[in-house]
Amino acid sequence: MEFIDQMNRTIRLEKTPRRIVSLVPSQTELLYDLGCKDRVVGITKFCIHPDKWFREKTRVGGTKQLNFDRIAELEPDLIIANKEENTKDDIERLALDYPVYISDISNVDDALKMIQAIGQIVNESNRAQVLSNQILNDYQSWPQLDGKVLYFIWANPFMVAGKNTFIGQVLSDLGLENAIDDPNARYPELTELELSHLDLEYVFLSSEPFPFKEKHIKRLEKLTQSKVLLVDGEMFSWYGSRMLKMKSYFETLVNTL
């Protein structure tokens, strides 16, 4: 069997995979919701959903710090990775020994295509189609916001999500204007001086990967003179079956702004 991944690479499999290693938290959860159960043998330490898998599955390191010996011990017949979540060197090394499917997600349409592709690979196309249809239906009725926003993913230095990211596209789909003008900027760093010169309505502090606290809220309120709040990073950046929860979360978010 041959499949084309989102990097336009050909993946060759002798049969439906039975020993899958997932290197991407959102795609690990997708595999669970596709009914893969015992077919997933390895996950990363950041694959926290579902909790049962997080507690029971073999962990193969972090998304960017993989334990290659542990992966080899699992004898995978498929590895699922992502262009942004995993490093190019790690993926190239793994691809020498195993079939590796690489996703590349910039928007909701990319996410839906990934869900359907993985569904086909694991012989769960019907489940994948049902998930995709439900996500698309929700997406078409997302609530709308208005205003200029910065979405922070890190502090010390301050780093934000630019327009050319999945997060940036989600913000745009919600009707918000990203304060980062450069259309090619992905995760630019900003100084306090630069922040103080921006005209913002909102600042979103993601719950991941940086653990923002109350002190960061106060600091950024003072710097930006805007409404600053902590948001659930999974709802802005997880491009698997967790997208089923996005509409409800965004509706709640709208009511708090």
| Alpha carbon distance 245, 86 (integer Å) | 25
If we measure between CA atoms, which residue out of 90, 76, 69 comes closest to residue 36? 76
- The answer to whether position 139 is within a domain reads no
124's tokens: 């769960």
CATH number at residue 180: 3.40.50.1980
| Alpha carbon distance 40, 84 (integer Å) | 21
Write b or e for each residue in 24-47: b if 16 or more Cβ atoms lie within 10 A of its Cβ, otherwise e.
bbbbbbbbbbbebeebbbbbbebb
245's tokens: 């929860």
My answer on whether 101 and 168 are in the same domain is no
Please give the residue range of the domain that contains residue 82: 2-107
Residue after which a domain boundary falls, among 57, 86, 107:
107
pTM of the model: 0.95
| Alpha carbon distance 26, 46 (integer Å) | 10
126's tokens: 């019907």
Q: At 21, which amino acid appears?
A: V
Burial class of residue 79 in the structure, from the number of CB atoms within 10 Å of its CB (0-12 exposed, 13-18 middle, 19+ buried): buried
- The answer to whether position 242 is within a domain reads yes
What pLDDT is stored for residue 257 in this prediction?
86
| Alpha carbon distance 92, 79 (integer Å) | 12
For 42-102, what is the HEC assignment? EECCCCCCCHHHHHHCEECECCCCECHHHHHHHCCCEEEEECCCCCHHHHHHHHCCCCEEE
What pLDDT is stored for residue 183 in this prediction?
87
My answer on whether 73 and 153 are in the same domain is no
- Please tell me the chain's helix, strand, coil percentages from 3-state DSSP, rounded to the nearest 5: 40, 20, 40
User: Total structural domains in the chain?
Assistant: 2
Query: In the chain, which residues have pLDDT < 70?
Result: none
